[in-house]
Chains A and B, each alone.
Chain A
Amino acid sequence: MAFTALPTALPALPAETTVAVGNPTLNIAIFAGFVLVTLAVIVRIARGKKTAGEFYTASGGFSGRQNGVAIAGDYLSAASFLGIAGAIALQGYDGFLYSIGFLVAWLVALLLVAELMRNTGRLTMADVLSYRLKQRPVRIATATSVLAVSFFYLLAQMAGAGGLVSLLLGVSGEAAQNLVIAVVGVVMIAYVLIGGMRGTTWVQIIKAVLLIAATAIMTVWVLGKYGLNLSSLFQGAIDKNPAVGEKLLEPGVKYGKNLTTKIDFISLSLALVLGTAGLPHVLQRFYTVPTSKQARKSVEWAIWLIGGFYLLTLVVGYGAGALVGPEEINAAPGKANSAAPLLAFELGGSTFLGIISGIAFATILAVVAGLTITASATFAHDIYREVFKRGEQVAEEKEVRVARIAAIVIGVVAILGGMLAKSQNVAFLVALAFAVAASANLPTILYSLFWKRFNTRGALWSIYGGLISTIVLIIFSPVVSGKAPLTEGGPSPSMITDPNVDFSLFPLDNPGLVTIPLAFFLGWLGTVTSKEFNPQKYAEMEVRSLTGHGVAKALDH
C-alpha cells in the first residue's frame, strides 16, 4: 500500500474497538437523496433513441465550461478527495507532493493532446491512434490498453466505496461492505444505461460543484479555527503527531526512507505527470465538446478547478492531522481514506459528516459511471466491430446495444473487483492506472500526433510493450508480495498478506521509470524497422489536427 502510516506512529488497535462515527441513517439518507435527484435529472434529459455519438460523447453537445467542470468531476475522484487528504494528514508534505503531480500533468493535456485529439477523433481514443495506421490491429491494441487502464481505475474507485462504507455506515462485516459496493455498481449501471454520456456528464457536473463547495467550506472552517493562519495550522498538525513532528513539513516521511523509496517516488511522479493525458475517460471528455477551441477551454477550466481543489486539500489534510490526529485516523476502518470524513465529523458533527460522506459516495459513483461509458464505447466501437465483426459495417443500433451490454458486464466486473480490492489504498490503485496509461497510451498518442514517420509496428510495439511490461513489473513488485510486515508476525502490507510468500523480484512499487521510457523506445524501434508510411493520411491527419478542418465545419454551418 502506498500510504500506510509509519509503524511507530500507532499502537495496533483491534478492529472491533472501532465504532461508527456519525449517524448511519443520516449518511444513507443524504446519499439516497443525491442518487434520486441525479437520476431524476438524467431521466429528464435523456433523449429518445441514442446514436453511438450520443451514447459515447453526448454528440459533442457540451460547452467548454460545462465540460471543464465535468473533467474536474472525473478527475477529483475518491483518490483525490479521500486518498490525498489522508496522505497529507498522515505523511504531511509527501501527500502534498503527490497532489502536485496530478495537477502539473494537466499541462501535457492542455498543450499537446486535448485540441489535437478533438480535431482528429470522434468517438473513441482509437480513432486518433488508428487514423493513419492499419485500423484493425491498432484499434484492438488501443482498446486492450484502454480496458486495462479502466479496470485498474474502476477497482480503485470501488475499493474506495468499500472502505468508506465501513466508516460511515458502521458496518465492518464483509457482507455489508460487499452489499454497498453492489449498490454503488447497480446505481452506476443505471446512470450509464439511462443517461449515456449526456446524463453521466451532468452527474459529474453536479458532483464536482458539490465536492468543491464542501471542500471549500471545510477549508474555511479549519482555517477559521487557526485564525486564518496556515503556520499555526501546521503547528497544530505537528503537535498532534509527535511521532513525525516537524518532519510533517518537509518531504521524506514516506518516500525518503531509503534510496529505493526515493527512486520509487521519481517513478511515481513520471507516471502521474505523463499518465493523465493518457487516461481514456479523460480523453473521452474531449469528444463531448464540439470544437478544439472548446476542448482548450475545457482544460483551462479543469486546471483552475483541479488546482484550486488541491490547494484546499492541503488545508483539509493538515486540518485532519491537527484536529483528528493520526491515531484516530489509523484506528478508523478506512485508515488514511477516512481522514477527510473524520475531519468533517470533528468540525460539524454527524450532519456535516453525512453531507461529506454523501458527496464522497457520489464522487465514486460518478467517476465509475464515466469510466464505464468509456470502456463500453471502446468495447463496442473498437473490439466488437474489429474482432467479432472483422471490420464489416455494423448497424449503429447494434453497436449501441453492444455498448449497453458491455456497460452491464463492466459494471458487474467492477462490483466483483471492488469486493476483492476493498482493503487496498485507493490512491495507490489509481497510481497503477496512471502507470499503465503513461506507458501504454501516451507514447503512441504523442508519436501519432507529432511524428511523421510513426507507423503501425511502432504503435503496436509501444502499446503492447508498455502494457505488458507495466503489468508484469507490478506483479513482481512489492505491491503484490513480499513487503515486510509492519508488526512482528503480522500480515504483510502487500496484496498477498502472507509474509512467507515473496516473489517481488522488481524493487519498486511504481514501474513507470522503466516502462515509460521502454514504451517510447519500442515505439521508435518498431517504427524505424518498418517501411510503412501513408503520405495522404498523414497530410489529412496533420492538417485536420491543427486547423480543425472537418470538425468545425460540421457544426458551424
Chain B
Amino acid sequence: MSNEARTQGDDPYVAVQSTPEFQDLRRKFRGFVFPMTAFFLVWYFVYVLLSIFAPGFMGTKVFGNITIGLLFGLGQFVTTFAITFIYARWANREFDPAADALGARLDGDKEH
C-alpha cells in the first residue's frame, strides 16, 4: 500500500480540497449521514426513555401477549435494517461515483 508515499511540496490535497467539486462531495456526504444519525439516535433514545419512564404504556398488550414495547423494540430492528439498506444504496449510487471521480482526478494531477 502506498499510504506513506506522497508528494509534500505543491500540495495536491489542498488544491483538491478547495475545489467546488470536493466541497460538494463533503456537503453531499454530511448532508446524508448527519440527519440520518440524528434520526436514529433520537428514535433510539425516545424508545429507551419510554421503556424507562413509561413501562406501563410499553407493557400495554396489543394482541395476545404482544405488547407495545415489543413492537417498538422490533421497530428498532426494522429502522436499523432500513437505514442500512438505504444508506448502502445511496452510497453505491450517489456517493461513490462522485468520490471516485475526484480520486481519479487527484491521480491525474500527480502523475502528469
Residues of A within 8 A of B (CB): 53, 60, 93, 96-97, 100-101, 103-104, 106-108, 110-112, 122, 229-232, 234-235, 238, 246-247, 249-252, 255-256, 262, 265-266, 269, 273, 293, 296-297, 299-300, 303-304, 307, 310-311, 450, 535-536, 539-540, 542-544, 546-555
Q: In the complex, are the beta carbons of A548 and B59 less than 8 A apart?
A: no
B70 to chain A, nearest CB (A): 7
Q: In the complex, are the beta carbons of A122 and B3 less than 8 A apart?
A: yes
A108-B59 in contact given A100-B47, A273-B44, A536-B13 (Cβ < 8 Å):
no
Interface bits B74-112 vs A (CB < 8 Å: 1, else 0): 101100110110011001100010011011001100000
Number of interface residues of B (CB under 8 A): 59
Distance of A343 Cα from B7 Cα, bound (Å): 61
**Which A residues are in CB contact (< 8 Å) with B91?**
296
Q: In the complex, are the beta carbons of A106 and B80 less than 8 A apart?
A: yes
**Which B residues are in CB contact (< 8 Å) with A252?**
51-52, 55
Distance of A235 Cα from B67 Cα, bound (Å): 12
Interface centre among A53, A100, A122, A296 (most CB of B within 10 A): A100
**Secondary structure of the B side of the interface?**
helix
Q: List 6 A-B contacts (CB under 8 A).
A: A250-B59, A307-B80, A539-B14, A540-B13, A550-B6, A554-B1
Distance of A262 Cα from B51 Cα, bound (Å): 9
Give 4 closest A-B pairs by Cβ, nearest first: A250-B59, A231-B64, A251-B51, A234-B65
Residues of B within 8 A of A (CB): 1-3, 6, 8, 11, 13-14, 16-17, 22, 25-26, 29-30, 33, 36-37, 40-41, 44-45, 47-49, 51-53, 55-56, 58-59, 61, 63-67, 69-70, 73-74, 76-77, 80-81, 83-84, 87-88, 91-92, 96, 99-100, 102-103, 106-107
Residue from B16, B76, B99, B107 within 8 A of A104 (CB atoms):
B76
Q: In the complex, are the beta carbons of A100 and B77 less than 8 A apart?
A: yes
Residue from B37, B67, B76, B102 within 8 A of A111 (CB atoms):
B37
Interface centre among B29, B80, B102 (most CB of A within 10 A): B80
B65 to chain A, nearest CB (A): 4
**Which B residues are in CB contact (< 8 Å) with A249?**
59, 61, 65, 67, 69-70
Distance of A553 Cα from B12 Cα, bound (Å): 16
Interface centre among B13, B36, B47, B107 (most CB of A within 10 A): B13
Interface centre among B26, B99, B106 (most CB of A within 10 A): B99
Distance of A296 Cα from B100 Cα, bound (Å): 15
A553 to chain B, nearest CB (A): 6
B68 to chain A, nearest CB (A): 9
**Which A residues are in CB contact (< 8 Å) with B2?**
550, 553-554
Residue from A101, A103, A251, A553 within 8 A of B52 (CB atoms):
A251
Given A108-B37, A307-B77, A307-B80, 15 more pairs with CB closer than 8 A: A101-B44, A101-B48, A111-B33, A111-B83, A235-B65, A247-B59, A249-B67, A250-B56, A252-B51, A252-B55, A273-B44, A303-B84, A540-B13, A543-B17, A554-B2
Q: In the complex, are the beta carbons of B52 and A547 less than 8 A apart?
A: no
Q: In the complex, are the beta carbons of A551 and B3 less than 8 A apart?
A: yes
Q: In the complex, are the beta carbons of A296 and B52 less than 8 A apart?
A: no
Q: In the complex, are the beta carbons of B40 and A104 less than 8 A apart?
A: yes
Measured CB to CB, the nearest residue on chain B to A60 is: B1
A542-B17 in contact given A111-B33, A547-B102, A550-B2 (Cβ < 8 Å):
yes
**Which A residues are in CB contact (< 8 Å) with B22?**
543, 546
Q: In the complex, are the beta carbons of A544 and B1 less than 8 A apart?
A: no
A549-B106 in contact given A103-B77, A543-B22, A554-B1 (Cβ < 8 Å):
yes
A303-B102 in contact given A60-B1, A252-B55 (Cβ < 8 Å):
no
A515 to chain B, nearest CB (A): 17
Residue from B40, B55, B63 within 8 A of A231 (CB atoms):
B63
Distance of A251 Cα from B56 Cα, bound (Å): 8
Q: In the complex, are the beta carbons of B16 and A539 less than 8 A apart?
A: yes
Residue from B53, B61, B66, B96 within 8 A of A293 (CB atoms):
B96
Q: In the complex, are the beta carbons of A539 and B11 less than 8 A apart?
A: yes
Measured CB to CB, the nearest residue on chain B to A249 is: B67
Residue from B3, B29, B66, B92 within 8 A of A546 (CB atoms):
B29
